[in-house]
Amino acid sequence: MKKLMTAEDLTKIVSVSHPVYSPDGKKAVFTKVTVNEKKDDYNIHLWVRDEETEELAQWTFEDGKHHQPVWSKDGRQLAFILQKPKEVPQLALMKSEGGGVRTLTTIPYGVSHPVFSPDGAFLYAAVSLKQSESVHDEKKEEQDDFAPAVYDDLTYKADGRGFLDGRVTQIVKVDIDSGEIEPVTSEQVHHMNHTISPCGKWLAFIQLNPQIPYISDVCLLSLEDGQTKKITQANGAYSTVSFSPNGESLLYIGHEREFQNATFPSLWLYDLKEEKTVQLSEMLDMYVGNCMAGDSVMGEVYQLPQWTKDSQGFYALVSDQGSTGIYYFSIEGLAYPVRLEAEHITNFSLHPNESKLLLSRLSPVSPSELYEMTLGETELKQITFEHHDFLKEHIVSEPEPFSFQSKDGDEVHGWFMKPSKMEEGKKYPLILEVHGGPHAMYGYTYFHEFQMLASEGYAIVYINPHGSHGYGQMFTDRVRGNYGDVDYDDVMQAVDHVLKAYDFLDETRLGVTGGSYGGFMTNWIVGQTDRFRAAVTQRSISNWISFYGISDIGYFFTRWQIDGDIYDSVDKLWDRSPLKYVKQVNTPLLILHSDEDYRCPVDQAEQLFVALKELGKDTRLVKFPKASHDLSRSGHPGQRIQRLTFIKEWFREKLA
């Protein structure tokens, strides 16, 4: 007898990810993220696959997070980031022939992003430092809990990091033999996502001034004379840099903010000799990268493009129509899909002989596993089977894709999930789920929250309304300045569509929920219609006027997305604020929010709760202490289970 999915089953999900082939192709390292229930935390361990015997071996065992693995060019060493419980992350090293873990650094401020020098003698890594701090400090300065905090900068807090203390990301050079650490950068801006040229003469990185929102530059630092030059001119947002194997080109990913933060990333190629840049993906109206929304992927790192050894092209992730897949791009600008199926690929590695790929993949009915793909073939060979027993023992509801024509005339894509167990002649309630962003994408991935609700006897509908990624730049941009307009029409049309298509749905028992932008939409929906009998709003926005000044992104996000500010268009902000329509809310509303959410701060929940309570409405506020905006995806396992339980119990009570 198969079991139904529960909130607690979240702890059974393993994230298998970040495969990296060794330079000789004989081994591949990857990471496994598992829940450590005793410590209410996660362990990340390194595993290695022997490509000849196909055996899998665990290489790290202690509690903690062992991640961001990188091979030396000769394949003899494996560097990674090691974060022991209650300690800051440090740089660590292992020999590929075997042996123990050697911790290279004891920097009190933590280390990230290891990159080997071509000769394997050094590692370049990132450290977050104040001007007064040094990588040679033996311990952090003592903090006075009662000292006043003084801020001079516009950007003074960040979700997941809290209130900032003037630290910026610097690059350091670590001697592998001696452990000696030497600063490489010192300018008081962030130096991020660095990479080194094959010749070892250049370090490329993204430079970000923390006081200028959503502007970053691609920079080249000469390791011979220490001079830095900017490839871009402070006109866009960039995230990734990668040298071609012959060292002649620098590939970078980003955009020039044509549609502000709704702009699709593009691929750019900089010729180091000619000092000229060309845009490779100008004709590709697709999102380069992974923009999938979900709750079952942990420990992800940004996927670097994978160059072919002849330096004539590379492979990269692309998101399209609810799928994330792999495209090949030539340096002349040609592009074609290598794999784009109904699935969610999160990371991949190209074998050195370019015959195959190792990839991490989720499907709508399976959390992540590792697969081998022979180039030119369509069949995948499964490498890990972390969820074999879990899926065999549980009922899994398989989403059914559908589409309809919006009022604008565009095709809108969505999915419908039946309840996990159904009886002939019985009517079932329907829950509408709305994703965050709004510039993200629902798709062909495993979503534990949806599976739990299906096991509770609910049908689920979720779509990619206007504003979502994956359907072209203009579709994504359509929602800016029009929140609660075309997107509201889309989600309501989706409800009507499935109610008409499935006669076992009970149109009198409708629920709605969503987080972040999806929380805004939930608040907006219950202020516009009484069709829903129950709602759960999560990490939401209720008041754009207060959001402007209290969110870590409020002052620019509000201008870009709502097309208004608190100086000249406060009426427009209020008109698009769900709080304005609170008197019209008759739907019982559960409000879930994290206490340390600085993206959509907790006052958004409190304002809504107080107004509803004062008006005698049916509402409840639940706050999660010490949790950030990312609670549902990477929060403490115990709180993630509690969150799911609150959602389940609210709908169970109100949709009975």
Q: Which residues are catalytic?
A: 516, 629
**Separation of alpha carbons 532 and 23, rounded Å:** 56
Question: Is residue 404 within 8 Å of residue 497, measured between CB atoms?
Answer: yes
**Separation of alpha carbons 390 and 90, rounded Å:** 34
Q: Please, what is the Cα angle at 581 between 576 and 585, to 5 degrees?
A: 135
CB under 8 Å, gap of 24 or more: what pairs does 139-148 form? Answer: 139/108, 140/108, 140/109
- 296 vs 31, 132, 390, CA distance in Å? 15, 40, 14
The two counts, helices (H) then strands (E), for the chain are 11, 39
**Separation of alpha carbons 113 and 425, rounded Å:** 57
| Most distant CA atoms of the chain, gap in Å | 78
Question: Is residue 549 within 8 Å of residue 603, measured between CB atoms?
Answer: no
Three-state DSSP at 652 gives helix
- DSSP state, 302? P
Per DSSP, the residues of 567-592 read TT-HHHHHHT-GGGGGGG--S-EEEE
Stated length of the chain? 656
Question: Is residue 3 within 8 Å of residue 395, measured between CB atoms?
Answer: yes
**Separation of alpha carbons 73 and 172, rounded Å:** 19
Q: Residue 194 corresponds to which amino acid?
A: H
Three-state DSSP at 515 gives strand
Residue 20: partners with Cβ closer than 8 Å, 6 or more residues away: 28, 29, 30, 69, 70, 71, 349
**Separation of alpha carbons 363 and 375, rounded Å:** 20
**Separation of alpha carbons 515 and 394, rounded Å:** 27
**Separation of alpha carbons 386 and 167, rounded Å:** 39
Three-state DSSP at 123 gives strand
* 438 token code pair: 């709004």
Strand partners, 382: 371
Question: Is residue 315 within 8 Å of residue 306, measured between CB atoms?
Answer: yes
CA–chain centroid gap for 113, Å, is: 17
Half-sphere exposure in the Cβ direction for 61 (13 Å, CA): 5
CB burial readout 489-509, b (16+ within 10 A) else e: bbbbbbbebbbeeeeebeeeb
* 642 token code pair: 């509690």
CA dihedral 204, 206, 207, 211 (to 10 degrees): -170
* 315 token code pair: 């492979």
Strand partners, 287: 319
Q: Residue 449 corresponds to which amino acid?
A: E
**Separation of alpha carbons 479 and 561, rounded Å:** 8
Question: Is residue 328 within 8 Å of residue 347, measured between CB atoms?
Answer: no
Question: Is residue 120 within 8 Å of residue 76, measured between CB atoms?
Answer: yes
